[in-house]
Structure formats: structure tokens, C-alpha cells
Structure 1
């Protein structure tokens, strides 16, 4: 291998790694995938990925050329459209249908792409996701409507954060703070007796880091200690910021508008739970930027995960029920990889989002701080821990029973 070819290869690997990191790929998947690409391109390589950095060491067969590259990066956000397109590009390159020069050019085009869904669709998805979560939590119809409305407010803050670094730094606490004040005002003047903590939690559920906590634990279980620890601690700090903002907002709201007396509403019918799962999955399509051709797979993944959990919870504890749900989800996601030749992450994330107990972690934090529960929950701390462990174990067992075709 001559030096010119080596330079071209290592430039492509570095760019590919940075893009996959940008799209929220977990460390153990990113390192394994880059290793496969490097092996095909005829170079030796070693990679270290963390949520905020990426290190490359690439060398030729006889060490004629060696290259080290370390980059400081921002934590990635899930972008299933770009992830899918990047994986397709890499597959075409590895199959010989695309030259390295063409692949490099296509990478630039994918990186410059925006969301396939416009701002209106994404804002609607925020409202649908927050309302659907309130429905899952057993809120009344009016509380569901107010949660959806506050979800739009959260999306407006997200748009502002994309334009302002200062707003981006305080996005989670200020969104929860504003949500808390607005909920207190609504309860005082429009809808008295509403469950204020539940509506506030629902309005910021998009920011609750349950998925990040699960990914961090999965990285720790795969012995990616640095990345797993960093991702887990980042998720915990994000949860703290959300709770503090909500706590401060509700406290200020009570001081300005007066205390709220919660009046329990009539329970929703059982079918509302399945409607909530469906609406939440539809909302995640725009939030995760899922491609149109993958929407049926994503919906199926969420319903398989939720139904398997609900069915098994009738025969065992909810924590172990999450293990069955994660196991079924892992089998389905790996089958998707074999059939569609796409990363399992594309459908697995949709299923995980209905299983991860990020909201229960928030509720447990509220119970610890105030001594009050705004939803009925017994032994919440033990249940949250068991669910997290069950999710990770379920995915590991699924990979053993049906190994994934792709590293991603």
C-alpha cells in the first residue's frame, strides 16, 4: 500500500467515525463497526470512543505508515435517517460498488443533510409524544391535552437552543422551569385540580434521559468503562437538571398562583394504553428522524417490546417483565438487520423508549426529595434498578440467541 492510498483510507475512516459518533452510536458498536471497515480497506486500526471524544490509531500492514488522530466532540443525537444512509454507503463501499473517492463525497452530502421532517412535523411530534406519555401514565383527558400543549413550548425552547449556545447550556432546567410555572397558572385559572407534577414530567419527557442511562449501562456491560461511566453520569446530571428546574418552577408557581389541590380524575379505558404506545411511536419517527421505509419496522418493534413486557408482567414481577420485552425486542431487531441489511439500532431504539424507566427515575427522585408520590408506585427504587438491569440483560441474551449481522 502506497502512502497516497493510505492517506485516502485513513481520511475516510476518520470522517466515517466522526459522523457515526454524531448520530449517537454507542461506543461498543462504533468501535466494532469501524474495525470492520478498516479490515476491509486493508489497514490495521484501533479506536477509543467516549461520548465527548474519539481517538483513531491507524497503521499499514508493515507499519510503513502510521496515523494518530484524537478529536474532542459533542455528545451525539440520535439521527436514524443519517445513520441508515451512512450504513448503506459503507455497505456499497465494502461490496465494491462504490469507490473510496465517491464514498467520501457522499459522506459530505449526508453530513450536510437536515431532518427529512420539517419543523411543523417535529413540533407536532413533540406534542404527540408528551401527550402520549401522559396517557400512558393514566392522566385525565384534560391533563393529556395540557401536556401536549406544553410539549410544543418545550419544542420552541429546543429551536431557540439550536440558535443560541447560552440557551443550549440551560435547555433542560429552563424548559422544566417554564413548564412548572405554566402548569401552575393553568391549574389556577383554567383547569383546577390537575396533577401538576405529572403534567410537568410529561411536558419534558422528551428530555428525560432514560434511553441514555440504558445505553450507558449497556456500554459498561460490554467493558467500555470510560464511555459507559461518562454516558451514565451525563444522563444522571441531565435528570438532576430537569428535576431542579421543575421543582423550582412549581415552587415559584405555587408562590404566585397559590397551592393546588389535586383531584383524581376517572381512569382511562384499557385501550388508551395501546393508543398511547402507537402515538408515542409515531411521534418518535420525527424525533428520531426515521426513514419512511423503516416506519412499519419501528412500530412493530415498539409493540413487540411493550406487549411482551405487558404479557410477561402478568406472570412475574415488572422488572423481569422488562427482561422478556428487551429479549423479544433484541431478537426482532437482529432479525431486521438480517432481512433489511440495516443497523439494528434503527428499530431497537423505538422499542427501548417504551421500556426504559427514565420517568420512574424522575418520580423516585421526587419521592426522595418531597416524600410525596404523584403516581401510585411501591418499591420504586428497587423496581427502577431491576428494570435497567433487565433491559441490558435481555439485549445481551438476544445477541447470543440470534447474533446481529452488523456491528451497528
Structure 2
């Protein structure tokens, strides 16, 4: 009985850690059931985004039940050792006691770099994204400086969790306010919404929307719908911050525009992707060995989106980017030391972003282009969602074909 209880408790904690690393609950449940079968016992698994419960087999002594709540989300660098633990557990090479110790080490793991490197990395990340979204000298400088500011806010909110719920709105107010004040000082006739995105990108719910699509497609409606609603609420928070800043500073709604501008040349976005990758390495701190794979993911997503834009236009180009990104992430995730595919999708989604275009669309609802913003935003998000689904289906079909041969 004690052995069964230990296994049940370990599986619940492992599932909670996987949920904290943004594994879809579908995969969490399937993994725990597979491990249970390896233990020679049948467990009932209930997996939700914030809680995992494992019910062990009934015996004379009773029925072991273990429940583990998902605390704070795991950082990107923590998902690498977690992925290794999941792989070893599925292969039957980890005892419950060893697994518990490994989980304790993963959760207690500190950031590989000091706080100032995180802040520096986010500034570089923001600069790279600015080169991709709206390459102008002014926007590049603003994105870098504001990126440092938001990086400080992000670092503080991580250390003082009570500030985390208000940080996105506060960051949006400050970023939008400083951009508006700067535009007024320079006598500019408008403020580009695309200029506001790079410093705020860390708050965009690309991962939540991605995972929700996977879960909804798998029939996990409760988890998928809750994540989707949470993602839209996060977008609304950011848009609300922009709205507050614009009205406090007397900016006319018509002066908020989403028109893309490139004053540096066609080479700028391609360089921006590389700068973006360097920023991710410093900000999210994955192992250095992951650098080439991260570059592959980022350029795969951008190239696919670029080609899709040439073929079908901007709003549906996300389908091709999401499709290519999903397949590439699934391929790289087969490596033993790689994090889950869904975690690797995050950097690429900051380039595609249901997030960035979604935030532009939601912000425009407050402005002059509100009538056309919502349909365009929905089309872009649906295109990316279908791209993710198409990538998953394509991957499964290829794997089945290989297994037959």
C-alpha cells in the first residue's frame, strides 16, 4: 500500500509540474496514465490547468488519492530538466523517491543568470522585435529603452509575486504614456500601435492561446476554454492600459494607428529575428546548446509567415507560420534534452503572435478603426489556431506512417 501511495503522490506532483510548464492537460493525463501502466497499476487521472489529481487502485487498505496544485508557472530554463525527468519517468528509470527529489531540485532551481542579465536580455529582445514589427530608428531606440524598463518591472514582479497581477496594466500605461509624451514632444502626428508591442511582448498570451487550441481540439473543453478566456483577458488588460494612457494624455483616437512602417530597409526584419534570438537566450536563459535550435525555430516561423504573407496576405499568413513552427518544435522536442514542444513554441509565437496582432486589434476597438479591427483580429487568431492544429495533425500522420513501415 505504501509503495502505491508513494507512486500516486509522485505522479500527482509530476503532473502539476508539467501543468506549470504549460504542457496541455491532454498530454499530462496521457503521460501519467502511461507511467501508471509501467508501474503495473491503473490510476484515474484528472488534470486541470491549476490542479492534478491521481486516484490509485482500490485495495483492502483503501484507495490512495493524491492531489497537487500548480503553483507559479515554471520558468523556461526549468522546463529543460523537467523534460528530462518526464522522459526518464516514462522509460521507467526513475523511482518515486528519486522523482520527488528531482522535482524539488527543479522547483528550487535559481535563474542561471543574475537579474541584470535578464533585464539586458529583455531590452535586446524588445529591440529585435521592434526591427521585425516596425523598423525605424526612433522605434528601435524607444523599444530598447522601454524594454529595459519593462524588464526591470518583470524582474521585480517575479520576486514580489503580489505585484504580478497589476504589472501588465501598469507596464502598458507607462509604455503607452511615454510613447505618447515622446510623440507629442517630437511633434509627431500619430502613435503607432506597433511601436508599443515590443516592450509589452512578454505579457502577450501567445502560449495560453496556443495551449487552449490544442486542448480544445483534443476535447478538453474546460481547460481549453478557461485558458482561452484567460488569454483574452490578458489582452484586454494590456489594451486597457493603452486606452488609459491615451485618454489621460489627451491623445485623439484617430492618432492611434497600426500602419506598418519600414524606414531601415528590407534587411531589418531578418536581422531583427537574429537579435530577437539573442535576447531570448539572455532573458529566458535556456542552455547555450539550445541556441541553434532556437534560431531554427525563430527563422522557420518568420520565413513561413513571410511566404504566407506573399501568398495570402497579412491576416492569414499566421497559418503558415504556426504550421511550420509547430512541426519544427515537435521535431526538436524529440531530442532528449529539449523542453516540451509547447514551451518551444513560445519564442516563435512572439514573432507570429496571436498576441501582437490581437493586441493591436483589441486596442483599435477603442479607436477610430474599431469597426474593422475585431474581424481582422479574429481572422488572424483563427488562422494561427488552424496552423497549430494542422501542424499537430501533419506530425501525427507522419509518425503513424513511419510506425507502419
CA distance in 1, matches of 2:57, 2:285: 36
Once the two structures are superposed, what CA deviation does each residue of 1:34-82 show, in whole Å capped at 9, x if it has no partner? 222222222222323333332222226x6865223344435635x3332
Distance 1:243 1:142 in 2: 22
- Give matches, 1:6-405, under 5 Å: 6-59=4-57, 65-74=62-71, 76-77=73-74, 79-95=75-91, 97-189=93-185, 192=188, 195=191, 197-254=193-250, 267-318=263-314, 320-340=316-336, 342=338, 343-372=340-369, 380-381=376-377, 383-403=379-399
Residues 45 and 281 (structure 1), Cα distance of their counterparts in 2 relative to 1, 3 Å cut: farther
Shift in Å, 1:11: 2.0
How far apart in 2 are the matches of 1:232 and 1:264? 27
Superposition RMSD in Å: 3.2
**SS of the counterpart of 1:204?**
helix
Distance 1:403 1:352 in 2: 24
Q: For residue 85 of structure 1, report the CA deviation from its aligned partner.
A: 0.8
Cα displacement (A) at 1:281: 2.4
More displaced stretch, 88-97 vs 36-45: 88-97
TM-score (norm 1): 0.85
Deviation at 1:207, TM superposition (A): 0.7
Instruction: Go from structure 1 to structure 2 and tell me whether the alpha carbon gap of 1:297 and 1:34 turns closer, same or farther (over 3 Å shift).
Output: same
On the 8 A contact 1:336/1:344 being kept in 2, the answer is: yes
Q: Deviations over 1:173-226 (max 9, x none)?
A: 111112222223333446856735333333212112133222212211111101
In structure 2, distance between residues paired with 1:90 and 1:215? 19
Report if aligned partners of 1:213, 1:235 keep a CA contact under 8 Å in 2.
yes
Shift in Å at residue 235 of structure 1? 0.8
Paired residues, what number?
A: 397
Q: Residues 125 and 280 of structure 2 are in contact (CA less than 8 Å); yes or no, is this contact kept in structure 1?
A: yes
Secondary structure of the 1:49 match is strand
Q: For each residue in 1:21-42, what CA deviation from the matched residue of structure 2 results, as whole angstroms up to 9, or x when unmatched?
A: 2222222222222222222222
State the Cα deviation string for residues 309-360 of structure 1 (Å, max 9, x = none). Answer: 3224323344554333333333323332334464333533333332232111
Paired residues of 2:301 and 2:352 also in contact (CA < 8 A):
yes
* CA-CA distance at 1:156 after TM superposition: 1.9
- What is the alpha-carbon distance in structure 2 between the residues aligned to residue 187 and residue 320 of structure 1? 31
User: Matched residues in 2 for 1:289 and 1:90: separation?
Assistant: 21
1:19 Cα offset (Å): 1.7
Greater mean alpha carbon deviation, residues 297-306 or residues 163-172: 163-172
SS in 2 for 1:117: coil
Is 1:154–1:175's contact at 8 Å kept on the other side of the alignment? yes
Measure, in 2, the Cα distance between the counterparts of 1:191 and 1:155: 28
Q: Which has the higher relative contact order, 1 or 2, with Cα contacts under 8 A spaced 6 or more apart?
A: 2
1:240 to partner: Cα distance: 0.8
Deviation readout 1:61-110 (Å, 9 max, x if unpaired): x6865223344435635x33322212223433454554432332222111
Aligned to 2:194, what secondary structure does the other structure show? Answer: helix
Task: Show structure 1 runs of 5+ residues with no match.
Answer: none
Contact 1:322 1:391 in 2 (8 A): yes
Q: Secondary structure at the match of 2:45?
A: strand
